[in-house]
Amino acid sequence: MIIFMCGIIGFTGNKPVKNILINGLEQLEYRGYDSAGIAVLDENGINIRKRTGKVAQLREAAMDLNEEAYCGIGHTRWATHGGVTNVNAHPHKSGRVVLIHNGIIENYRELITEYGLKNKLVSETDTEVVAALLDTLYSGDPIKTIRKAVDLISGSFALCIMFEDHPGIIYAVRNVSPMVAASFDGSSIIASDITAIIPYTKRYFVVPEYHILTIDKGSIKCEDLNGNTVEPEILEVNWDISSAQKGGYPYFMLKEIYEQPDALDRTVRPRVENGLPYLEEDGISDSLFKGIKNITVIACGTAMHAGMVGKYVFENKLRIPVNVEIASEFRYKDPIIDKDTLTIVLSQSGETIDTLEALRLAKRKGSPVLSIVNVKGSTIARESDYVLYTHAGPEIAVASTKAYTVQIAAMYLIACRFGLVKGIMSEEEAREFISKLENVRTLIEETLKSANTIKMVANRIMISPDVFYIGRGIDYTLSLEASLKLKEISYIHSEAYAAGELKHGTIALISENVPVIAIATEKNVYSKVISNVKEVKSRGAYVVLVSHDDKIDDTSICDMQIRLPEADSTFSVFATAVVLQLIAYYTSDAKGLDVDKPRNLAKSVTVE
Ligand code: F6R
């Protein structure tokens, strides 16, 4: 399995390029952080610096680089294809060509053989093969050469290319792997996402697939593979650079946890009219819901966990069957869906390749696709029939937090509108539902006051090799997400169990001092969860109870308690999520780890 997700940036214009590239790479570091490199191009040729480690190390290595170069490309790498070495880091140069790449070249072996490239290669990467291929094909006309190469390579790619004899110009082309570009004040910029562009301009466009960009100072030409000029649609970012900075918080993750009340407001309030959900402005008309008999939710990881919460509401409140599917499984199935199934796709980035491929399959099966996406203009958004954008703002920490809660809120808005259209929910019930949804901000703010208690829990569990989360119903779905969050940023082994399932095997793992975090917000199963808690407590577990209870002094129930503000469990999920996110955050921080950049992970998973 080849995994390759990287940050890329290119700049040409009227400012020295070195620091623009390095600063941009710092913004993009969350996409990959094994190694980083830049190449600058001026009349004297191409100069490259690359280093394993963080961008800070590259900054050092680039100290001696020409400050007077005005055109260049840069890359942060996250790779398992070819070890983490200076040689394998990008940019890769072959003859007159230098390039950076995000994606996978699937037929690189065939290309090496067919075009006799072996002697040109010094690294173990598929990327260098493209550089060698371009140099072999190069006739002095970059566009013609790129066209030929694109015809020969298969796989996913976002490529930024410079030719030594064309100073001041960057060429770019992509398939699947995302890229956005913009021109402003005599300069032009291209990057794998808008966080690197936003310090310069809010207006950008998504690079169309299989189109070649000629990026010159202050102008960008976009043409299809037949040479026809195309004018891409200009989009505008609705957040500013401060949203992509830490703003005084030690880590983005903590900032993003605290941003949740605002993110929820921005996602919910514009979609409420007279106390009822209103989705027409998003292009989602009631007719979409009329013939729908069931729902399939497709997503990966945290987004899928948000889908599970949505399922709970659809099924319990509306009695509409919902199937939640792991995108990477769904895409290789022959799924039982048709035009009567509404497919809801959840994705923060809008670029997750498994989710995208699953979406395409659902469409081929005739199912209308409504996606819930955070990144405007992303591939998933563009390929869906309907889009409900979440307005979380940029999520930089690799571990998803605010994107998860806004995805749940978006699912709730859809469920409520759906219920109204189908006559399953009365206007009065819908008004009450929406008013509770609008009030979750208060629940979260109240919960954030428990940060110190949560820190104490984190200090206790940071020394444990294993942590278990248990809950029933909606709390079980939260346990799954809590467990994922903890393991991905603290590297502590963790599992989530439906509380009633423990006694069917897993309870054998419970021994003296093993932490069990029990979530008990559902009234109808509360006493059942408490019975399960007592089962683990009597076997020596260290129990943390997350519930609405008043203070519990009974040590036969729990060792620590985190109290949630009183609310119906459907709406408590937002507050509970915050508690669980903070447990993971403080545990990782207490262990001295880099919370925002956990090992082996990258923010946007653009390969399968
Ligand atoms: C975990 C996390 C991932 C993502 C998953 C899907 O904290 O962030 O599990 O939720 O990779 O990503 P998107 O939502 O961008 O499709």
Q: What is the pTM of this model?
A: 0.83
For ligand 1, the distance from its centroid to the CA atom of residue 489, given in whole angstroms, is 13
Q: Is 581 in the pocket of ligand 1 (CB under 6 A)?
A: no
Q: Which of 605, 606, 607 to mutate to test the pocket of ligand 1 (most atoms within 8 A of CB)?
A: 605
Verify whether ligand 1 is closer than 6 Å to residue 356 (CB atom): no
Q: Is 196 in the pocket of ligand 1 (CB under 6 A)?
A: no
CB-based contact 67:16 (threshold 8 Å): yes
Collapsing DSSP to helix, strand or coil, 78 comes out as coil
Active site amino acids: 6, 603
Q: 416 Cβ partners below 8 Å, 6+ apart?
A: 276, 277, 425, 430, 433, 434, 437
pLDDT along the chain (608 residues), means of 10: 68 96 88 88 92 93 90 87 89 97 93 97 95 97 98 94 97 93 97 90 94 97 97 87 82 96 96 97 96 97 98 95 97 94 97 94 98 92 96 93 98 98 96 97 96 95 96 97 97 96 89 96 94 93 94 88 95 98 97 90 69
Angle CA 587–589–595, to nearest 5: 105
Q: CA-to-CA distance for 385 and 536, rounded, in angstroms?
A: 48
β-bridge partners, 170: 215
Establish whether residue 303 lines the binding site of ligand 1, counting it when its CB lies within 6 angstroms of any ligand atom: yes
Distant-in-sequence, close-in-space partners of 562: CB < 8 Å, separation ≥ 6 = 450, 453, 454, 457, 544, 545, 546, 579
Can you tell me the distance from the alpha carbon of 327 to that of 305, in angstroms, rounded to the nearest whole number?
12
Q: For the purposes of burial, counting CB atoms within 10 Å of the CB of 364, is it exposed (0-12), middle (13-18) or buried (19 or more)?
A: exposed
pLDDT confidence of residue 92: 97
96 CB contacts (<8 Å, ≥6 apart)? 135, 138, 163, 164, 165
| Block residue for tokens 């009695």 | 319
Of the candidates 65, 127, 66, the residue with the CA atom closest to the CA atom of residue 94:
127
CA atoms of 459 and 406, how far apart (whole Å): 29
371: which strand partners?
345, 387
CA of 47: how far to CAs of 43, 92, 162, 226, in Å? Answer: 11, 11, 11, 32
**Quick check: helix, strand or coil at residue 195?**
helix
- Residue 100 alpha carbon to ligand 1 centre in Å: 25
Cα of 349 to ligand 1 centre, how many Å?
Answer: 8
Confidence at residue 4, expressed as pLDDT on a 0 to 100 scale? 43
Q: Indicate the helix (H) or strand (E) that contains 276.
A: strand 276-277
- Structure tokens that stand for 77 in this block: 């790498």
pLDDT confidence of residue 22: 96
Distance separating the N- and C-terminal Cα atoms of the chain: 8
Does the beta carbon of 347 sit less than 6 angstroms from any atom of ligand 1? Answer: yes
> Would the CB of 477 count as within 6 Å of ligand 1?
no
Given this model, what pLDDT does residue 43 score? 85
Which residue has a Cα nearest atom 5 of ligand 1?
A: 301
